[in-house]
Amino acid sequence: MDRRRLYLILRPESTGTAARIFRVLHHVMAALGIALMLIVTVEPLEQAYGAGLAGGFYVVAAFFLLEYVLRLIAAPEAPGGQHRGEHQTRLAWMFSLGGLFDLAAVMPGVIALYYGPDGTLFGFIWAFKYVRYSPGLASLGRVISHARHALLSVLLGFCIVLLSAASLAYLLERHAVHPGDPGAFKSIPAALWWGIVTMTTTGYGDVVPQTFAGRALSGFVMVGGILIFALWTGILVNGYAEELRRRDFLRTWELVAKVPFFHNIGAALIAEVARLLRPRDYPEGTIIMRRGEAGDCMYFIADGEVEVRLQSGSIYLGSGQFFGERALVTGEPRNATVVAAHTCTLLVLDIVDFHELLARQPELARIIREEAHRRLGDDVPRPVPALEADAPIS
């Protein structure tokens, strides 16, 4: 097996059969490893099936060792480095976040070899193996990472309030009797335990202030804790909103990039088109355009489905397809009535923007003129072969 094929099998985004089989195996192994690790710590089960459990554990560990070696072999196939077209070195991969986690996933087996069954508990590291395959988690990680300065500031504020609260609680409560835990407020480090349990509103109840002043302080600490963590929520809400805006732009961009109409044009133009599109929602049953009207815009379907009513019958267009460009190019009236089959989101390109685009992009104008000539024989507004190949109308 050559190195390139190995790389493609290991890459999370690959869609080939070998890659799919590898992913299923990988996920099953991680789940199995975690299950074994959980069971090994339950004494009766461990005593009954100890040998089998240990065997399974080493199989999983061996799989992840193998995966590490394979990823190391395939590493130079990944893009990387300072410049475009360069490739990642093996060393760079070993010290990347993914490489270090993959190395950590080899550790439980090594530790178990040295320390016996006790070492198996580090199998929880295998849970992190799923992170690479969850784009949503990566997106949330980006939210936290972008907001890390603000989140850490909140944490600093939390620590300052926590320390102050614990010191005051020690002052107020150290002479009171605490039935649950006599040493609860006998030192400030001990009072910190009460403080953190109270500020996070966890409230185990093993340590409860007994004096009036101590309880009043507790009330302030609870309310203060809620205030501090509400700030945390405020930071993450706004961070997630920013992430959504970023993702929406990329999604529009990708959608435009997929439309054959704009094929072979280059990313810069696609970015410009993406900027000109305005998303608009249509409730089910809305008549989007009527046969015989003058055309003043064209539409891309971002979400949902439309029914195109031609004289020869109806056809349905789904997400990723477009219509209405013909009237803009020819100046003739619409040749079909289009109705929203379900509530749908369309990206609308106005005629002004459409022609401004052509005026500024002579290369695009030539392509459109050719496209228009090719379509003038069509009755159907838009057969999109390229798209239909990998995303059939659902």
Q: Is the Cα torsion angle 25, 26, 28, 32 positive or negative in sign? A: positive
Question: Minimum distance between the CB of residue 283 and a second copy, rounded to whole angstroms?
Answer: 6
Q: Does 127 bind a second copy (CB under 8 A)?
A: yes
With contacts defined by CB under 8 A, name the span among 2-10, 66-74, 287-295, 377-385 that binds a second copy. 287-295
Q: Does 115 bind a second copy (CB under 8 A)?
A: no
In total, the chain counts a number of residues equal to 394
With CB under 8 A as the contact rule, the residue among 83, 311, 377, 390 that binds a second copy is 83
With CB under 8 A as the contact rule, the residue among 73, 236, 365, 380 that binds a second copy is 236
* Stretch 296-315 residues interacting with a second copy (CB under 8 A): 296, 307, 314
The residue whose two tokens read 């087996």 is 109
Question: Minimum distance between the CB of residue 146 and a second copy, rounded to whole angstroms?
Answer: 11
Q: Does 41 bind a second copy (CB under 8 A)?
A: yes
Question: Minimum distance between the CB of residue 289 and a second copy, rounded to whole angstroms?
Answer: 7
With CB under 8 A as the contact rule, the residue among 23, 240, 350, 380 that binds a second copy is 240
Report the distance separating Cα 169 and Cα 313, nearest Å.
79
Alpha carbons within 13 A on the beta-carbon side of 220: 12
The smaller minimum CB distance to a second copy, of residues 71 and 178, is found at 178
Q: Which of 9, 91, 79 is nearest to 1 (CA)?
A: 9
Question: Minimum distance between the CB of residue 309 and a second copy, rounded to whole angstroms?
Answer: 10
308-314 own/partner pairs: CB under 8 Å, 24+ apart: 308/336, 308/337, 308/338, 308/380, 308/381, 309/336, 309/337, 309/338, 309/339, 310/335, 310/336, 310/379, 310/380, 311/379, 312/379
With CB under 8 A as the contact rule, the residue among 22, 63, 93, 282 that binds a second copy is 282
The residue whose two tokens read 């890659």 is 19
Q: With contact defined as beta carbons under 8 Å apart, do 302 and 248 qualify?
A: no
Residue 89 makes CB contacts below 8 A (sequence gap 6+) with: 75, 76, 80, 81
Q: Does 351 bind a second copy (CB under 8 A)?
A: no
Report the distance separating Cα 383 and Cα 322, nearest Å.
9
With CB under 8 A as the contact rule, the residue among 24, 25, 28, 42 that binds a second copy is 42
Q: Does 267 bind a second copy (CB under 8 A)?
A: yes
With contacts defined by CB under 8 A, name the span among 53-61, 97-105, 263-271, 375-383 that binds a second copy. 263-271
Q: Does 198 bind a second copy (CB under 8 A)?
A: yes
Q: With contact defined as beta carbons under 8 Å apart, do 169 and 198 qualify?
A: no
Residue 223 makes CB contacts below 8 A (sequence gap 6+) with: none
The smaller minimum CB distance to a second copy, of residues 17 and 264, is found at 264
The smaller minimum CB distance to a second copy, of residues 37 and 368, is found at 37
With CB under 8 A as the contact rule, the residue among 32, 70, 222, 365 that binds a second copy is 222
Q: With contact defined as beta carbons under 8 Å apart, do 273 and 349 qualify?
A: yes
Question: Minimum distance between the CB of residue 223 and a second copy, rounded to whole angstroms?
Answer: 7
* Stretch 324-343 residues interacting with a second copy (CB under 8 A): 339, 341
* Stretch 44-63 residues interacting with a second copy (CB under 8 A): none
Q: Rg (Cα) of the chain, in Å, rounded? A: 31
With contacts defined by CB under 8 A, name the span among 3-11, 61-69, 215-223, 366-374 that binds a second copy. 215-223
Question: Minimum distance between the CB of residue 224 and a second copy, rounded to whole angstroms?
Answer: 10
Q: In what order do the strands lie in the sheet containing 337-340?
A: 287-289, 337-340, 306-310, 313-317
Alpha carbons within 13 A on the beta-carbon side of 233: 6
- Count of residues touching a second copy (by CB under 8 A): 110
Q: Does 2 bind a second copy (CB under 8 A)?
A: no
With CB under 8 A as the contact rule, the residue among 2, 136, 264, 392 that binds a second copy is 136
Residue 380 makes CB contacts below 8 A (sequence gap 6+) with: 308, 310, 315
The smaller minimum CB distance to a second copy, of residues 283 and 392, is found at 283
